[in-house]
């Protein structure tokens, strides 16, 4: 037992934190215990089963459920837009949304009454149409939405901030239009935040009292919810008030427990100590001894473009690029950290805007600022493989790979068939039914590559795809990657000379946001030798050449 406790203990958490934590638990729990201790068990059943109690409880549950659903419908889009878009007056809007959290409930009720009441301007218009709100069950729902909506907005904003936008961008690069990205990626990834917000909204609506009483009144079976029923009987029959309070507490606890036990609810348990969070075992671990991965048939299904021409300026990122590289081959891009390589990739995919410039792949114009052409990410035909695989966590492996094909209009059956074929060619076909979290690091890298290759992009961008892999996994994955990229237009960011010599035919050196050197890989050493110390980036290129153990790039400098 002692060993288990030591293993589960967090070494960086001060022991004294238990003192205020226990005080906090006691502060919340003791009043509930005090309430339960005052209950007369013989009086409990009679009070709970009384007609007025059942009417009040039924009305509370119904109105709270409707209010929670309404909060999801209008609160999720509001929270998502606040988290993902910047617009004038955004801070003011956020402040107004959070205002009901700090307003006394009676003030909220007065605000609703003097807006939607029978004598108010808007309320009188509804009354004239026979849709009056005040002192109706609809008024109860209005009051509950008013006080509960901020919880939904905050939950969604927090969930979006924690998740980020990388998965949505990856989906768009695979050709998914905004609606498909939203319904197939964004909503599933945010379902925990949505569930949390809905639970909080339901709980807040179930306990609403002041705004309901002020705006809706207390009409039996119409507006008298359980909190109002408890308030009504507390003076004349304290035991009935205590019994009804216990009923409300039990119902709220049951709803919350059931909601958090849902498969889509937030996980409350920490990972078990023995469960690994990630692994980087060899990608050949499941193959028979001596068998190598199949790599045939990985070339492009269509002819790639002849030349890639990029001219662009992004002053905010310090980019001023004039680059021309051959298509139908792989170009390696090197440079110091912060030189602008990743920003250059984001520019090409459309993740960040250019102030000026254009990008052409063969005869295809990807964007041209002068002509007003700046197409969205999903219509560019450029796929970016980030340093992390970014496999969609709510889809299994084969559906991850099939996602881009389905976005192109293929049926699920055909998309999965092609996805399985590509996974098999890359040696990870046996992983097709697994969840992304159940594959190793090397397998995840190949699955992400399969997802990119299967849509046959015009240009494939790879940002240090092998950097996080172990040495043995890296060697084998590099071999498969070389075969997969053959005949395709690809650009790979790397800090590893082996990636350049094995994968690339052209080398580009980016220095301070500009192109310093472009040359065939085997001519880099000669370029350094001919230009001498005055060559832009000479020190960096010389140091990079020193890591070329086989002397392929810099043979003339050895």
Write down the pLDDT at residue 270: 45
Query: DSSP 3-state helix, strand, coil percentages of the chain (rounded to 5)?
Result: 55, 10, 35
Write down the pLDDT at residue 247: 87
Which of 41-45, 255-259, 325-329, 504-508 has the weakest average pLDDT?
Answer: 255-259
Predicted confidence (pLDDT) per residue in 434-464, tens digit: 999 999 988 998 999 999 999 999 999 999 9
- DSSP string covering 83-128: HH---TTHHHHHHHHHHHHHS-HHHHHHHHHHHHSTTSHHHHHHHH
Whole-angstrom distance, CA of residue 518 vs CA of residue 496: 17
Reported as type and span, the H/E element at residue 22 is: helix 18-37
Cα dist from 134 to 70, 206, 421, whole Å: 19, 19, 63
Q: Are 105 and 211 in contact (CB under 8 A)?
A: yes
Predicted confidence (pLDDT) per residue in 314-332, tens digit: 999 999 999 999 999 999 9
Q: Are 379 and 408 in contact (CB under 8 A)?
A: no
**CA end-to-end distance (rounded Å), the chain:** 62
Which of 180-189, 289-298, 395-404, 434-443 has the weakest average pLDDT?
Answer: 289-298
Orientation angle between helical segments 51-84 and 238-260, nearest 10 degrees: 40
Cα dist from 139 to 59, 121, 217, 448, whole Å: 12, 16, 9, 52
Give the number of other CB atoms < 10 A from CB of residue 480.
23
Predicted confidence (pLDDT) per residue in 99-119, tens digit: 999 999 999 999 999 998 888
Give the number of other CB atoms < 10 A from CB of residue 152.
29
Residue 434, judged by CB atoms within 10 A of its CB (0-12, 13-18, 19+), counts as middle
The CATH superfamily assigned to 51-260 is MetI-like (1.10.3720.10)
All structural domains of the chain with their residue ranges: 51-260, 391-456
Task: Give the phi and the psi of residue 455 in degrees, each rounded to 5.
Answer: -90, 0
Inform me whether the pLDDT recorded for 395 exceeds 70: yes
Write down the pLDDT at residue 255: 77
Which of 1-10, 201-210, 238-247, 408-417 has the weakest average pLDDT?
Answer: 1-10
Write down the pLDDT at residue 248: 87
Inform me whether the pLDDT recorded for 170 exceeds 70: yes
């Amino acid at each position: 037992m002692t060993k288990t406790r030591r293993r589960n203990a967090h070494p960086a958490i001060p022991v004294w934190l238990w003192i205020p934590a226990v005080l906090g638990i006691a502060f919340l729990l003791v009043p509930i215990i005090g309430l339960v201790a005052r209950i007369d068990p013989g009086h409990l059943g009679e009070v709970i089963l009384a007609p007025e109690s059942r009417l009040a409880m039924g009305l509370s549950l119904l109105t709270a459920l409707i209010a929670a659903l309404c909060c999801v419908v209008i609160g999720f889009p509001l929270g998502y837009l606040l988290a993902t878009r910047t617009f004038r007056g955004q801070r003011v809007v956020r402040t107004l949304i959070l205002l009901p959290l700090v307003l006394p409930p009676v003030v909220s009720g007065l605000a609703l009454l003097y807006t939607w009441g029978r004598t108010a301007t808007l309320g009188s218009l509804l009354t004239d149409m026979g849709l009056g709100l005040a002192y109706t069950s609809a008024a109860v729902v209005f009051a509950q939405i008013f006080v509960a909506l901020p919880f939904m907005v905050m939950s969604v904003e927090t969930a979006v901030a924690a998740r980020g936008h990388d998965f949505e961008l990856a989906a768009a690069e695979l050709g998914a239009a905004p609606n498909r990205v939203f319904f197939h990626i964004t909503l599933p990834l945010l379902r925990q935040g949505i569930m949390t917000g809905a639970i909080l909204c339901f709980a807040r609506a179930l306990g609403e009292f002041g705004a309901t009483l002020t705006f809706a009144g207390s009409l039996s079976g119409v507006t008298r919810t359980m909190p109002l029923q408890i308030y009504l009987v507390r003076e004349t029959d304290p035991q009935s008030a205590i019994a009804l309070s216990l009923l409300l507490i039990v119902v709220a606890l049951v709803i919350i427990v059931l909601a958090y036990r849902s498969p889509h609810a937030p996980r409350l348990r920490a990972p078990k100590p023995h469960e690994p969070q990630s692994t980087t075992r060899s990608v050949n671990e499941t193959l028979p001894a001596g068998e190598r991965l199949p790599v045939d048939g990985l070339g492009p299904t269509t002819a790639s473009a002849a030349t890639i021409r990029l001219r662009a300026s992004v002053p905010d990122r310090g980019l001023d690029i004039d680059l021309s590289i051959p298509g139908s081959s792989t170009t390696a891009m090197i440079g110091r950290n912060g030189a602008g390589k990743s920003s250059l990739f984001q520019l090409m995919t459309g993740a960040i805007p250019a102030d000026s410039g254009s990008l052409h792949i063969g005869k295809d114009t990807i964007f041209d600022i002068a002509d007003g052409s700046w197409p969205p990410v999903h219509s560019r035909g450029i796929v970016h493989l980030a340093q992390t695989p970014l496999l969609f966590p709510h889809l299994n492996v084969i559906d991850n790979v099939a996602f881009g094909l389905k976005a192109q209009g293929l049926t699920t059956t055909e998309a999965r068939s092609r996805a399985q074929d590509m996974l098999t060619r890359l040696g990870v076909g046996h992983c097709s039914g697994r969840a992304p979290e159940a594959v190793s690091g090397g397998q995840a890298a190949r699955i992400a590559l399969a997802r990119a290759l299967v849509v046959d992009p015009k240009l494939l961008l790879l940002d240090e795809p092998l950097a996080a892999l172990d040495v043995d996994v890296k060697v084998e994955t590099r071999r498969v990657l070389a075969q997969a990229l053959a005949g395709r237009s690809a650009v790979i960011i790397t800090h590893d000379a082996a990636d350049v010599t094995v994968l690339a035919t052209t080398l580009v050196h980016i220095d301070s946001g500009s192109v310093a050197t472009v040359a065939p890989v085997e001519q880099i050493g000669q370029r350094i030798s001919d230009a001498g110390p005055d060559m832009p980036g000479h020190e960096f290129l010389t140091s990079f050449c020193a890591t070329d153990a086989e002397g392929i790039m810099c043979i003339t400098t050895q």
